Amino acid sequence: MHDTILEAVGLTKEFKGFTAVKEVNLQVRRGTIHALIGPNGAGKSTVFNLLTKFLPPTAGRILFKGRDITAMRPADVARLGLVRSFQISAVFPHLTVLENVRVALQRHQGTSFHFWKAESSLHALHERATALIEAVNLTPWTGHTAAELPYGRKRALEIATTLALDPEVMLLDEPLAGMGHEDIERTAALIKRVAADRTILMVEHNLSVVAHLSDTITVLRRGEVLAEGPYAVVSRNAEVMEAYMGTGTHGAGHA
């Protein structure tokens, strides 16, 4: 059985004569955590924006579950089950954790503006929201506004609001960036749990923080794929190490 769920074929993006991404081929296997990494300027964010349809490619194709989604809009792709975390700026700072998750659930169910819905349906939303909050270890923060949350907890809330959309493939944009060591460990463990029944593609700068998290790592350099494989393979690649020289890659906890 062919287990590729998301695929890029010859993906290329040019900006006024500058080639930011050049003929990138990428295959994300169903049920895995796949990290897209590289030093600054490697083209990670551009590839991510192409895959999530926030940028149109100059050339190449994107396939989701074998379907060509190259010309589709981000919202339509999200409805298919390919959801980018933090794409909605994810949280409303002055709503509570519970309210944020409930809004995301309402959006998924298409009931955002159906305030006259039966109370039983709101109760069901409340139960699901509570379960999602528990899943990301935010139960003690349920009644706090998003603005009050520490940075790492805010990212956990963003993951909860993404989970509310019930994605089949979840795309995380530098979920560990700017975190201290404790937050990195907690969020990495959360990503691992979340990946139990879905596929995750994450963009990350730091090789060391995805070492024990990812099944497959694709390393980009200057818009091209430099290396790919499990951490044990890419971490021994001389070109990968050279590309990362001086970027603080080996210092665990730096993002």
Sketch the domain layout of the chain as residue ranges: 1-81+167-255, 88-166
Q: CA 237 to CA 228: how far, in whole Å?
A: 10
- Residue 36's DSSP bridge partners are 203, 218
pTM: 0.87
Gyration radius from the chain CA atoms: 19
* Phi, psi (degrees; rounded to nearest 5) at 12: -135, 140
pLDDT tens digits in sequence order for the chain, 255 residues long: 469 999 999 999 999 989 999 999 999 999 999 999 998 889 999 999 999 999 999 999 999 999 999 999 988 998 899 998 864 445 789 999 999 999 888 876 765 555 555 556 667 788 999 999 999 999 999 999 999 999 889 989 999 999 998 899 999 988 888 888 888 889 999 999 999 989 999 998 878 888 989 999 999 999 999 999 999 999 899 999 888 764 444 443 333
User: How does strand 33-37 pair with strand 18-29?
Assistant: unpaired
Q: CA 180 to CA 168: how far, in whole Å?
A: 29
Is CATH 3.40.50.300 the classification given to domain 1-81+167-255?
yes
